[in-house]
Amino acid sequence: MAEIVSTKPFDGQRPGTSGLRKKVTVFQQPHYAENFIQSIFDSLEGFAGKTLVIGGDGRYYNREVVQTAIRMAAANGFGRVIVGQNGLLSTPAASHLIRKNEAFGGIILSASHNPGGPDGDFGIKYNGSNGGPAPEKITEEIFSHTKTISAYKTINSADVDLNAVGTIQIAGMTLEVVDPVTDYAALMQTLFDFNLIRALIKSGFTMKFDGMGAITGPYAHRILEDMLGFAKGTVMNGVPLPDFGGHHPDPNLVHAKDLCDMLLVQKAYDFGAASDGDGDRNLIVGKNIYVTPSDSLAIIAANMHLAPGYKGGITGIARSMPTSGAADRVAAKMGLRCYETPTGWKFFGNLLDANMATVCGEESFGTGSNHVREKDGLWAVLMWLNILASRKLSVATIVTEHWKEFGRNYYTRHDYEEVDLDSANALMKNLRDQLPALVGQHGIHKADDFAYDDPVDGSRTTGQGVRLLFENGSRIIYRLSGTGTAGATLRVYMEKYEANPQRHEMETQHALFDLILMSRDCAKIEKYTGRKAPTVIT
Ligand code: G16
C-alpha cells in the first residue's frame, strides 16, 4: 500500500550539468533522495502503468537509493520497473534499455567521474523516453518542485532481492531484474565488426583497459575478453567497488596514470583505454601517443563509415563549445554541418533525435552516437578497435595522418579545482565586464558569453562560457564546472590551429604557452583564486 510521507524542501537541489550531484553525506540526510525523486515524478505526466528503468554505477549508497527508487516508483503508479542486477547499470546501458523497452524514462544513480565512497559523491539524474538526459526545461521543473515539496509517496516493504535475474511483483508493479551487460553487448555487435577485431587480436594486437574500479569492468570483461578474445588480464581494475578501490574514476592523464605509463612510457601495448565511474567517458591512448578527446571525435567522424553500423555515412557532427574545432574541419570536408552546443550531453539529444547529427563529442572525454542518447565509453573503444582493424595502422599513424590531412588543433584544458565559489563568480563577472574592452587586444577579434539557440525546439540557453576568439582561429574559453560538489572549479580551455605538418610534433603545453600565459593574465586568475597554477592539466 502506498503511503504518504511528510517532508520539507531542501535548499540547493538544482540539477547541474548532469543531474543532482552532492556529497554522499548530503544524500544520506533523511528524505533528501526521496524529495528529489518525488520532484522528478511530480514534473512528469502520463506515466501511470508505464515502464521506468533504474540502475546506477555501484558507488557507495547505490544499493540503498535503488531500493528507495523502486519503492517510490511502485507507490507513484509505474506499471513496470526494469533494474540492473544488483542495482547496476552503466549510463549508456541504461539509455539503451530505456530505448529498447520503450520505457517512459529512467533514473540513473551516479556522480559519474567524481570519487565515491562514504566521503565521496553521489548523484541522481532523470533520462527521458529517448534515453537521454532530461532537457533543461524538465530539470528546471524538477528544481521548482524541490522548492515546494511537502510529501512523497512510497510503499512500506522490505528491500527487494536484486541478486538474481528474474521477474517479481511488488505492490502491483512488475519488477524485472536484468543482466546489466547482455542487451548492451548485443547492441555493440550490431554496430561493429567483431570478426574483423578478432582477426586483429589474433595477429598479435594487444590492449589494456582500465575499468578504474567502476561500472565498466563487467562490460569490458564480457565484450573485450569473452566475446572478442583479448587475453584474460586485458581488463585491469575490472571489479566495480563502492569506493572504486580508492580510484578517482576520471579517465584522464592524471587519474589513469598507471594505464598511461604502460602505453606512453613502457610502450607495453598497442592500444589503451579507460572509462569512468558510470561508463560514459573514454580515454584513448596508443603506443607512445595520447589522443585528445577532441581529436578522437574528429578521427572517429572521419573513419566511422568503416564500422558496419555506420557504413551508410553520417548526417552531421556535434561538439560542445569548449571542444576543439578539429571536428569542424572533418565536417567541412565531408560537406556536413558541425553543431556547437553548450557543455552537457543533454544538448545533443534534439540533434540526434532529429537525425541532424550522428556522432557527438566533448572535450571532457565523452564521445557517442545515435545508438543511444548518452556518451558511451566502450562504444568509443570499440569504434577505435574497428578503425584500427580496418585500416591496419597504429594509433600514432592514424593520428598523425589525420593531422596531415586536416591540420592539428593543439588543445589543452587547465582546471583550478575547489576554489572559493564567491571568488570564482567574481572572476567570471570581471571577465564578462571586460569583454568589449578585450576586443582588439592581443589579436582578439571577438569576445562573448556563449549562447545557444537549439535549432530543433528553438530554446535559447545563455551564459555558457566566456570565449576569447582570436583572428588566427585560436581560442581561450572560461567556464565554471557544473559537476563539482565542493567550491567551484574554473575550467580554462585553450586551442590553437596549426596547418603545417612540420610543426605538428610540438609538446602541447609548449605549443600553447603564449595562450596559457594570456589566459591567466586576462582573467587575473591568481588575483581571484590565489592559485599560481592549475590543479589538473589535460
Ligand atoms: C557531464 C556531462 C558532460 C559534460 C561534463 C563536464 O559528464 O554529461 O556533458 O561535458 O559533465 O561538465 P562540467 O565541465 O560542467 O564539469 P559526466 O561524465 O560527469 O556525466
Q: Tell whether 71 and 127 lie within a shared domain.
A: yes
Output the pLDDT for position 2: 87
Please give the distance, rounded to the nearest whole angstrom, from the Cα atom of residue 426 to the centre of ligand 1.
Answer: 23
3 state SS for 196-246: HHHHHHHCCCCEEEECCCCCHHHHHHHHHHHHCCCCCCCEECCCCCCCHHH
Question: Do 336 and 421 sit in the same domain of this protein?
Answer: no
pLDDT in tens, 101-141: 999 999 999 999 999 999 999 999 999 999 999 988 999 99
Ligand 1 proximity of 194 Cβ (cutoff 6 Å): no
* Percent of the residues in the chain that have a pLDDT greater than 70, as a whole number: 100
Domain count, the chain: 3
Helices 32-42 and 136-148 pack at an angle, to 10 degrees, of 120
Stretch 333-361: mean pLDDT, rounded?
96
372 and 440 inside one domain: no
Give 291-308 pLDDT, tens digit per residue. Answer: 999 999 999 999 999 999
Mutate to test the pocket of ligand 1, among 323, 324, 343 (most ligand atoms within 8 A of CB): 343
The domain spanning residue 350 has which CATH number? Answer: 3.40.120.10
**What single-letter amino acid sits at 157?**
S
For the chain, first and last CA: distance in Å?
52
Q: Is the pLDDT of residue 484 over 80?
A: no
What pLDDT does residue 276 have? 96
**Is the minimum distance from the CB of 275 to ligand 1 under 6 angstroms?**
no
Instruction: Give me the mean pLDDT over the 466-476 stretch.
Output: 95
Nearest to 264 by CA among 236, 294, 293, 285: 285
Tell me, using a 6 A CB cutoff, whether residue 112 lines ligand 1. Answer: yes
User: What pLDDT, on the 0 to 100 scale, is given for residue 16?
Assistant: 84
Cβ 365 under 6 angstroms from ligand 1: no
pLDDT above 90 coverage of the chain, percent:
96
Q: Which atom of ligand 1 is nearest to the CA of 483?
A: 16
Per-residue confidence (pLDDT) for residue 487, from 0 to 100? 87
Tally of CA atoms within 13 A in the half-sphere of 112 that contains its CB? 28
Tens of pLDDT, residues 241-288 = 999 999 899 999 989 999 999 999 999 999 999 999 999 999 999 999
The residue whose CA is least distant from atom 14 of ligand 1 is 481
The CA 187 to ligand 1 mean position distance, Å, reads: 24
485 within ligand 1 shell (Cβ under 6 A)? no
Q: Which of 18, 43, 110, 112 is catalytic?
A: 112
- Ligand 1 close to Cβ of residue 483 (< 6 A): yes
SS3 label, residue 190: helix
Residues 196 and 173 in one domain: no
Among the candidates 114, 149, 178, a domain finishes at: 178
Split at pLDDT 50, 70, 90, the class of 17 is confident
Are residue 174 and residue 311 in the same domain, yes or no? no
Which residue's CA lies nearest to atom 2 of ligand 1? 344
pLDDT above 80 (res 401): yes
Entry pTM: 0.95
Q: Please compute the mean of the pLDDT values over residues 31-60 and round it to a whole number.
A: 97
C-alpha 484 to ligand 1 mean position (Å): 10
Q: Residue 349 and residue 354: Cα distance in Å, rounded?
A: 9
| CA 493 to ligand 1 centroid distance, Å | 14
Same domain, yes or no: 460 and 476: yes
Tell me which of 153, 178, 203 is where a domain ends: 178
- 231 and 357 in a single domain? The answer is yes
Q: Is the pLDDT of residue 485 over 80?
A: no
Residue closest by Cα to atom 3 of ligand 1: 344
Ligand 1 atom nearest to CA at 114: 19
* pLDDT on residue 483: 79
Which atom of ligand 1 is nearest the CA belonging to 364?
10
Q: Report, as an integer, the average pLDDT of 200-215.
A: 97
If asked whether residues 401 and 429 sit together in one domain, one would say no
pLDDT of res. 482: 82
Mean pLDDT, all residues of the chain: 96
- 401 with 421, same domain: the answer is no
536 lines ligand 1 (CB under 6 A): no
**Gap from CA of 19 to ligand 1 centroid (Å):** 10
- Looking from the CA of residue 344, the nearest atom of ligand 1 is 9
Both 44 and 128 in one domain: the answer is: yes
Q: Which position has the grid cell 596514470? A: 257
**Listed range (42-51, 374-383, 436-445) with the worst mean pLDDT:** 436-445
203 is catalytic: no
The neighbour count for residue 137, using CB atoms within 10 Å, is: 10
The CA distance from 30 to 33, in Å, is 8
Cα gap 276→189, rounded to integer Å = 22
| Average pLDDT over every residue of 21-32 | 97
CA of 113 to the centre of ligand 1 (A): 9
Q: Does 482 sit in the ligand 1 pocket, CB within 6 Å?
A: yes
Cβ–ligand 1 contact at 362 (below 6 Å) = yes
**Any atom of ligand 1 within 6 Å of the Cβ of 538:** no
CA 506 / ligand 1 centre spacing (Å): 29
Collapsed DSSP state (helix, strand, coil) of residue 91: helix
Which of 161, 178, 195 is the last residue before a domain boundary? 178
Q: Which residues constitute the domain of residue 139?
A: 3-178
- The CA distance from 309 to 348, in Å, is 20
User: Angle at which helices 293-303 and 377-391 pack, to 10 degrees?
Assistant: 50
Q: Is 17 in the pocket of ligand 1 (CB under 6 A)?
A: yes
Asked if pLDDT for residue 194 goes beyond 90, the answer is yes
Residue nearest to atom 9 of ligand 1 (CA): 344
Instruction: Work out the average pLDDT over 469-485.
Output: 91
- Who contacts 155 (Cβ-Cβ below 8 Å, separation ≥6)? 1, 2, 3, 71, 74, 75, 170, 171
| 332 and 217 fall within a common domain | yes
**In the predicted model, what is the mean pLDDT of residues 300-324?**
98
Nearest to 415 by CA among 477, 470, 457, 369: 477
Beta pairing partners, 122: 22
Same domain, 255 and 139: no
Q: How far is the CA of 17 from the centre of ligand 1 (A)?
A: 6
Residue 364 Cβ < 6 Å to ligand 1: yes
Alpha carbon of 483 to ligand 1 centroid (Å): 6
**pLDDT tens digits, residue range 409-428?**
999 999 999 999 999 999 99
Region 42-63: mean pLDDT is 97
